[in-house]
């Protein structure tokens, strides 16, 4: 009798867990979304995600920092007022895939090989995105809503105690591993924010462009 009751209890628990997951799937689906967590990190190490310009491949022209900035007391960070985002900007000199995963937990990450904020050229910054219901732990969610940015929206980059103001010019999408196109001349400075798309899935990449 006791064995039979234990057997029924196991079935009851199993049915309960399955029912709970079905009813609350939107809230708990992130728990099973390991591909989205690792996808952006993997893409950062696929050779084609690097900007197409010859600058990134190793023969980068040196250029004086642009003067369109102001002094700031803030640490290296990225702020997007429209989305209520303020995240540390991690600037690694170089990194392995394991390092990048760690850095993305700490904020948004400057992509080594692109130009530094404020210099002439194309600055690339990577950040995680997450599905609806994802808890705000670490910075897995930081670029979830960047698709909401529209032309003219401000993005502030604080770097080396200077504040650089960028204005969104557009959004485009990339396949995994697809080259980030060269979008400007060497006399300009452009910011490209990149994350997984759609949020929480490792299918494509969204890129928000700002000058």
| Phi, psi (deg, nearest 5) at residue 39 | -60, -45
Same domain for 42 and 6? no
Token pair belonging to 90: 């991690």
Over residues 65-85, mean pLDDT: 87
| Phi, psi (deg, nearest 5) at residue 97 | -60, -40
Q: What residues make up the domain containing 190?
A: 33-210
* pLDDT at 200 exceeding the cut of 70: yes
Count: domains in the chain: 2
User: What's the confidence (pLDDT) of residue 108?
Assistant: 96
pLDDT in tens, 6-49: 566 666 666 655 665 555 544 444 444 444 545 666 666 554 45
**In percent, how much of the chain has pLDDT > 70?**
64
Token pair belonging to 138: 């670490």
Q: Which residue has the tokens 């909401």?
A: 148
Bigger pLDDT: 175 vs 61: 175
Does an H or E element contain 34, and which?
Answer: helix 34-44
Same domain for 119 and 73? yes
Same domain for 39 and 26? no
Same domain for 129 and 151? yes
Token pair belonging to 76: 């290296």
Same domain for 88 and 146? yes
Q: Where are the beta strands (DSSP E) in the chain?
A: 69-71, 77-80, 85-90, 108-110, 121-126, 154-159, 162-175, 189-197, 204-210
pLDDT in tens, 90-141: 999 776 777 778 899 999 999 988 899 988 889 999 999 988 778 888 899 9
């Amino acid at each position: 009798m006791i064995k039979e009751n234990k057997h029924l209890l196991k079935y009851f628990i199993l049915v309960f867990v399955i029912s709970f997951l079905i009813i609350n799937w939107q809230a708990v689906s992130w728990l099973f979304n390991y591909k989205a967590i690792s996808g952006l990190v993997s893409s950062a190490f696929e050779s084609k995600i690097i900007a197409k310009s010859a600058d990134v491949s190793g023969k980068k022209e040196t250029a004086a920092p642009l003067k369109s900035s102001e002094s700031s007391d803030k640490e290296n960070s990225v702020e997007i007022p429209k989305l209520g985002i303020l995240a540390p900007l991690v600037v690694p000199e170089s990194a392995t895939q394991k390092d990048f995963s760690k850095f993305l937990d700490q904020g948004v990450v400057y992509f080594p090989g692109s130009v530094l904020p404020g210099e002439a050229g194309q600055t690339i910054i990577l950040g995680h995105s997450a599905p609806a219901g994802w808890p705000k732990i670490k910075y897995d969610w930081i670029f979830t809503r960047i698709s909401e940015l529209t032309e003219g929206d401000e993005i502030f980059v604080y770097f080396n105690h200077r504040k650089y103001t960028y204005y969104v010019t557009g959004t485009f999408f990339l396949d995994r591993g697809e080259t980030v196109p060269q979008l400007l001349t060497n006399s300009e400075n452009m910011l490209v924010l990149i994350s997984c798309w759609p949020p929480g899935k490792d299918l494509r990449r969204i890129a928000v462009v700002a000058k």
